[in-house]
């Protein structure tokens, strides 16, 4: 049975602890509590939480000092911390991030924001449980080759990052996500989060299905998450700029650009659900939209090793209306459908979407599941695809 994520709630005010408990308890988190900074550090040592939610203003040791103390302790230095600040207290937000906090939440609490941030951080951090698992491996794992075992665990780490159906449905009620992967590992990763009423959707794709490709997907998603959490104002272009710059710093020869970034296929969407506005930037992955009853393809940019300037990326802003939709196909699925269209005269993606314009989201999902099974069954290649669809 999967272990629950352990969350330590730190607040000297009972009402603060109770409000967070009311939000998190129904989501099956294992909750612990502390009333001040000293208790927080002692409780963290005792329970080794997966996440600490900590109020900044506390008597004695405040949240900033506790955060610094955690970062200086070898057993707690990697525990994620979300600091809780007063509304619009920008100085506290910056000071908290400098102290080593991973993110912040403003008072009064917004339930959707709290759940989005807590779930994203605990999902991103869950891989540590897999790597630290001390139980004896199963007989099958004992007999597996070293490479097979690495692939197995890389796949488990990758799965730990995938958002739950409940989380996605809470943010986007009219959606479907079709995922088909060979065994336990995929060259694709789909990720979603929410900040300030805007929903960020990422599909990251690599060419192969080896360990390095899975780890690069994980790195891309993790860095993207950190970039978004540290920005008050963000758009698809400055997220991609920061992603490239950050990955470039990890390279052995950063002056030559980022090999990791330039070999990445990525679709990045920011959806303002209140105003029905969609912003899109893509690296080699197109976006498809159904708008005013007509399907349209929006091409992603073709990235190459010369892409090192600050203004290489473009964003597309789209105003959507009720019943419009947007769709992201992973590269493998695009290839399967396009090849089937050329060889057998099958309908292309735009034709398929146009036929589904009057269907509800569940009918669309059923249609594409059946169609995808039919198309890829005619090939002998590994089936590794993702299709995500959202209806307004």
38-77 residues labelled b (16+ CB within 10 A) or e (exposed): ebbbebbeeeebbbbbbbbbbeebbbbebbebbeeeeebe
* Model pLDDT, residue 104: 85
* Model pLDDT, residue 165: 82
CA distance 109 to 79: 22
Joined tokens for residue 331:
């590269």
List the Cα angle 102/103/107 in 5-degree steps.
Answer: 150
CA distance 347 to 340: 8
**Same topology between domain 6-111 and domain 162-391:** no
* Pair 89, 106: CB distance under 8 Å: yes
* Model pLDDT, residue 130: 47
CA distance 49 to 3: 12
Q: How far apart are the first and last CA of the chain?
A: 36
Strand 265-272 and strand 198-205: pairing? antiparallel
Residues 6+ apart with CB under 8 A from 146: none
* Regions in the chain scoring below 50 on pLDDT: 1, 127-128, 130-145, 305-311
CA distance 377 to 178: 16
Check whether domain 6-111 has CATH 3.40.50.1980, yes or no: no
* Model pLDDT, residue 211: 65
User: Right CATH number for 162-391 from 1.10.274.10, 3.60.15.10, 3.30.420.40, 3.60.40.10?
Assistant: 3.60.40.10
* Pair 82, 38: CB distance under 8 Å: no
Where do the domains of the chain lie? 6-111, 162-391
CA distance 377 to 379: 5
Residues 6+ apart with CB under 8 A from 391: 174, 175, 323, 324, 325, 360, 361, 364
Tens of pLDDT, residue by residue over 159-175, are 666 777 888 888 999 99
Joined tokens for residue 138:
């199963």
* Model pLDDT, residue 303: 58
CA distance 341 to 85: 55
* Model pLDDT, residue 137: 47
Tens of pLDDT, residue by residue over 119-171, are 888 876 654 454 444 444 444 444 444 555 555 666 666 666 677 788 888 89
Tens of pLDDT, residue by residue over 348-381, are 899 999 999 889 999 999 999 998 888 877 766 6
Q: Is 143 exposed, middle or buried (0-12, 13-18, 19+ CB in 10 A)?
A: exposed
CA distance 389 to 177: 6
CA distance 167 to 324: 22
Query: What is the 3 state secondary structure string of the chain?
Result: CCCCCEEEEECCCHHHHHHHHHHHHHHCCEEEEECCHHHHHHHHHHHCCCEEEEECCCCCCCHHHHHHHHHCCCCCCCCCEEEEECCCCHHHHHHHHHCCCCEEEECCCCHHHHHHHHHHHHHHHCHHHHHCCCCCCCHHHHHCCHHHHHHHHHHHHHHHHCCCHHHHHHHCCCEEEEEECCCCCCCEEEEEEEECCEEEEEEEECCCCCHHHHHHHHHHHHHHHHHHHCCCCCCHHHHHHHHHHHHHHHCCCHHHCCHHHHCCEEEEEEEECCCCEEEEEEEECCEEEEECCEEEEECCECCCCCCCCCCCCCCEEEECCCCCEEEEECHHHHHHHHHHHHHHCCCCHHHHHHHCCCCCHHHHHHHHHHHHHHHHCCCCCCCCEEEEEEEC
Residue 336 dihedral angles phi and psi, to the nearest 5°: -60, -45
């Amino acid at each position: 049975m999967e272990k629950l994520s352990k969350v330590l709630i730190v607040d000297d005010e009972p009402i603060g602890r109770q409000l967070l408990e009311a939000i998190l308890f129904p989501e099956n988190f294992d909750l612990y509590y502390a009333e001040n900074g000293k208790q927080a550090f002692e409780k963290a040592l005792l329970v080794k939480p997966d996440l600490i939610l900590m109020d900044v203003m506390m008597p004695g040791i405040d949240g900033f000092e506790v955060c610094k103390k955690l970062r200086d302790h070898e057993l707690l230095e990697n525990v994620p911390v979300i600091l809780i600040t007063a509304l619009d207290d920008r100085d506290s937000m910056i000071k908290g991030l400098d102290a080593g906090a991973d993110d912040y939440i403003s008072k009064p609490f917004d339930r959707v924001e709290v759940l989005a941030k807590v779930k994203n951080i605990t999902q991103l951090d869950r891989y540590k449980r897999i790597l630290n698992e001390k139980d004896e491996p199963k007989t099958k794992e004992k007999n597996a080759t070293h490479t097979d075992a690495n692939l197995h665990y890389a796949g488990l780490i990758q799965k730990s990052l995938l958002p739950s159906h409940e989380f996605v449905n809470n943010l986007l009620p009219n959606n479907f996500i079709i995922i088909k992967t060979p065994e336990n590992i995929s060259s694709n990763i789909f990720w979603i989060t929410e900040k300030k009423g805007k929903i960020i959707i990422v599909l990251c794709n690599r060419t192969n299905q080896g360990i390095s490709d899975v780890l690069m997907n994980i790195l891309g998603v993790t860095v993207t998450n950190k970039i978004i959490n540290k920005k008050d104002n963000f758009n698809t272009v400055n997220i991609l700029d920061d992603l490239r710059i950050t990955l470039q710093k990890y390279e052995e020869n950063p002056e030559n650009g980022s090999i990791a970034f330039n070999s990445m296929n990525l679709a990045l969407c920011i959806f303002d659900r209140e105003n029905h506005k969609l912003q899109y930037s893509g690296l080699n992955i197109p976006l498809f939209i159904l708008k005013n009853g007509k399907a349209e393809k929006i091409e992603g940019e073709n990235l190459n090793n010369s892409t090192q300037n600050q203004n290489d990326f473009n964003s597309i802003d789209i105003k959507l209306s009720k019943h419009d939709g947007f769709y992201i196909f992973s590269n493998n699925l695009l290839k399967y459908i396009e090849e089937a269209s050329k060889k057998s005269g099958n309908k292309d993606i735009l034709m398929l979407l146009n036929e589904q314009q009057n269907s509800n989201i569940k009918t669309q999902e059923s249609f594409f599941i059946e169609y995808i099974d039919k198309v890829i069954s005619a090939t002998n290649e590994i089936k590794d695809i993702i299709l995500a669809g959202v209806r307004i």
